Amino acid sequence: MLISLVICTYNREDILRETLPSVLALKIPIDAQLELIIVDNNSIDDTAAFVKDFIGRNTGQIAMTYLFEVNQGLSYARNSGYKKAVGDYIVYTDDECILPENWILNACTKIKQFSPAFLGGPYYGKYLSGSKSPWYKESYGDSYILQFNLPNGPMNNRYLSGGNLFIRRDVFEKIGLFNVELGMTGETINYGEEVDFQKRLKAYDPNEIIWYDESVYVYHCIRNEKMSICYLFMDAMIRGASAAELRKPSKIEVFASPFLLFYFILRALLSFVQKAIFSLMKKQHFFSLLHSDYESRVWRDIGSAWFRVKSLFSTN
């Protein structure tokens, strides 16, 4: 079995210095091979020079390829990686992920047992070297999926993260590529491309398996800008809008969206005041308390309703 590991990157030369060495430490089953494809999505920092030097210094059991994708957007980069890959499974992980040494071993075990269309697991937050925050805990960087306490096995009505995603090759042949209208584009935050991809397969064949296994985990490095309440608020808003874009609403939802938007904003403001008072009384860090609104739907619901409001007025 051949596994094609695709890492798409944009202006992350500094983070790649921490994450790429973990690829070299991966344990590969004796009956499997691994190739690494690094897709540079039009970076303007020293990514190209660093990656080429890294590949040049680390020839061995892992075949490595550097690709440059000029079209800006994560979906373009992921599609480019797939087109170059020759593996039975194409695996996507983020450029900010550190891979445990048994990651491929554990994944191959599940692949041999179940041959799922998609396979993945959680990720756990990890500080970058020299980074720390007085209020942002490493656990805040954990994947949202952990809050559901999912059992190992097929997922129902939930979807895997694109930062830890094994895809059987014939899935692309059945449903095509990632939607280039979705996903990150340069410094612009956007989401939804991997959920859209999984939904399209389930629509094509409901019997296909999306398999979650907690042993197939990675560590997700927490970039410094993510340890900002302003960033997290905007991120939650965009996540809510992206989720709304992928789900067809009822007419009632669309027409009620202005009232829902007002309600969700009011709810967030009341929560803000409540947590400010509580932080003074209990001497707890205000931002730590406020982070619970990021983890819950408090801020995401604002983004979702705002997207519906825009849709309402754009159709009129």
Per-residue pLDDT tens digits for 146-198: 888 899 999 988 999 999 999 999 999 999 999 999 999 988 888 899 999 99
What backbone torsions phi and psi does residue 107 show, to the nearest 5 degrees?
-65, -45
- How many Å apart are CA 96 and CA 104, to the nearest integer? 17
Strand, coil or helix: 31: coil
- How many Å apart are CA 186 and CA 9, to the nearest integer? 10
pLDDT bin (cut points 50, 70, 90) of residue 255 is confident
pLDDT bin (cut points 50, 70, 90) of residue 144 is confident
pTM value? 0.91
Residue 82 scores a pLDDT above 80? yes
Q: What's the average model confidence in pLDDT over 269-293?
A: 92
pLDDT at 128: 92
For domain 2-226, give the CATH number: 3.90.550.10
Q: How far is CA 204 from CA 119, 168, 173, in A?
A: 18, 15, 12
Look over the chain and give the mean of its residue pLDDT values, rounded to a whole number.
Answer: 93
Exposure string over 53-72, b if 16+ CB within 10 A, otherwise e = ebbeeeeeebebbbbebeeb
